[in-house]
A = this chain, B = another copy of it.
Amino acid sequence: MSKIAVLGFGVVGSGTVEAFYTNRESICKKAGKELDIKHVLDLRDFPDSPYAEKLTKDFSDILNDDEIDIVAECMGGVNPAYDFTKSLLQKGKSVVTSNKELVATKGVELLAIAKANNCNYMFEASVGGGIPIIRPLHQCLAANKIEEIVGILNGTTNFILTKMIKEQMSFYDALSLAQQLGYAEKDPTADIEGHDASRKICILASLAYGKHVYPERVHTSGISRITLEDVEYAESCNCSIKLIGSVKQLENGKILPVVRAAFVSRECPIANVDDVFNAILVRGNIVGDVMFMGKGAGKLPTASAIVADIVDVAKSEGTSISQVWETSEDYNFIESYKLAKTSMYIRITSDDILHTTEKVKDLFGEVKFLSKKIVATNEIAFITPAMIEKNIDEKIDDIEIAGANVIGKIRVLDI
């Protein structure tokens, strides 16, 4: 018999309790033992919940209960989740979590504490919601060196971009629809500016390359400046604009993690993953490309991953099955995005567009000019050849110094 506690009775926490009791019989069968949820921690009251008698406001009820050996942390945020998780692991209680912010910022420390205390810290739910990705990456693809991971890691932004692409809604209209539907929060910054995707790519990169990658080391930009004109230019060259989190190992051995909107060719399967779906493509040196797809968030999908971790922990009683990665004070491990090669979509307005066009050709060499239904006479858009991003920015500076305005700039995904 294992007793479980759940920290937080919000969307994910209540989903976890619901999922557990919906399938309890088969879950216990798979775990090979009886499991039950004993406590749920939340500061709020839920008098009408069928689980009201399990609710407590006092964390020590859980920490000091020797019957509890597995805790699902569904609080989100670094504090107080970090302190709670640390003290639970130090007591030898395994913790499973959906908290990507905590894993991305403190994962290496919490994994080490778990290992030292012969328990587990698991986080399948932190990336891709219910899509199996953490375990497949470190277990099913164990034969591979991971060359590259490319993902649509945030469902909210994918929903917004899909509305822009398929229904020509403006960014702000699509955002407001996403908020109405409950896909985006009132303060949507973490989603639309790419921070959420950044935390997720940190977790995947840390797992794939064995050293902790912190969010502040990941060049991150969002989708708030994408316009319908950009979308139309992308369509004209058979591309879709997606918010892409990616990491790859470069020839110099360093890794390049980055989150940004990108033109993605429709030949690439992730270009066609729409709405709130997430997709993660993993390229291994043995397996080639494999892709995982599903709803990347939501109450029950996320709960599915949390309960799977609970089953795994219950089965592995006493042993440490956690994946572990190293700390990385070694800043040389991560390449600056400025030094990486990329093609770039650039959109320019200018009072003397002929002159600007000549300047563009001089600076960038063979660019691919794009068109759309109606193009203003003072505007051009094009895709540069692949070159070091720093050099692209220098050339953009030259163009702006010469009097033109760069009003759009989006990287082109090379996969």
Contacts and interface: CB of A to CB of B under 8 A. Distances in A.
Interface of A: 19-20, 22-23, 26-27, 30-31, 124, 130-132, 135-136, 138-145, 269, 272-273, 284-295, 298, 300-301, 303-308, 310-312
Contact of A287 (B130, B141, B312): B130
In this complex, the member of A131, A286, A304, A306 whose beta carbon has the largest number of chain B beta carbons within 10 angstroms is A286
A143 B96 CA distance: 14
Nearest to A312: B139
Given A139-B312, A303-B143, A308-B140, A23 B286 contact: yes
A205 to B, nearest CB: 16
Given A27-B142, A139-B312, A311-B142, A289 B294 contact: yes
A305 B140 contact: yes
A20 B289 CA distance: 18
Given A19-B143, A23-B144, A135-B136, A287 B294 contact: yes
In this complex, the member of A26, A130, A273 whose beta carbon has the largest number of chain B beta carbons within 10 angstroms is A130
Contact of A295 (B22, B289, B294, B306): B289
Nearest to A274: B269
A135 B130 CA distance: 15
A301 B284 CA distance: 9
B130 A288 contact: yes
Nearest to A130: B287
A26 B136 contact: no
Given A132-B132, A135-B136, A140-B135, A304 B286 contact: yes
23 contacts: A19-B286, A20-B143, A22-B285, A30-B142, A31-B142, A130-B287, A130-B290, A131-B290, A132-B136, A132-B290, A135-B139, A141-B304, A142-B307, A269-B273, A286-B300, A288-B295, A288-B301, A289-B295, A290-B292, A291-B292, A291-B293, A292-B293, A293-B293
Nearest to A124: B140
B143 A136 contact: no
Contact of A285 (B23, B144, B273, B285): B23
B286 A143 contact: no
A292 B139 CA distance: 15
A121 to B, nearest CB: 17
Contacts of A293: 269, 290-293
A286 B130 contact: yes
Nearest to A302: B287
A291 B294 contact: yes
A308 to B, nearest CB: 5
Contacts of A141: 132, 304, 308
Contact of A286 (B31, B290, B301, B311): B301
A130 B141 CA distance: 8
A333 B37 CA distance: 32
Given A23-B145, A143-B305, 15 more contacts: A19-B143, A22-B285, A23-B143, A124-B140, A130-B284, A132-B132, A132-B136, A140-B305, A142-B307, A143-B306, A143-B308, A287-B304, A290-B292, A291-B292, A292-B292
In this complex, the member of A19, A132, A291, A307 whose beta carbon has the largest number of chain B beta carbons within 10 angstroms is A132
B288 A300 contact: yes
Contact of A143 (B27, B142, B298): B27
A284 B303 CA distance: 12
Nearest to A294: B290
Nearest to A289: B294
A341 to B, nearest CB: 26
Nearest to A136: B132
A303 B289 contact: no
A307 B290 contact: no
A301 B290 CA distance: 10
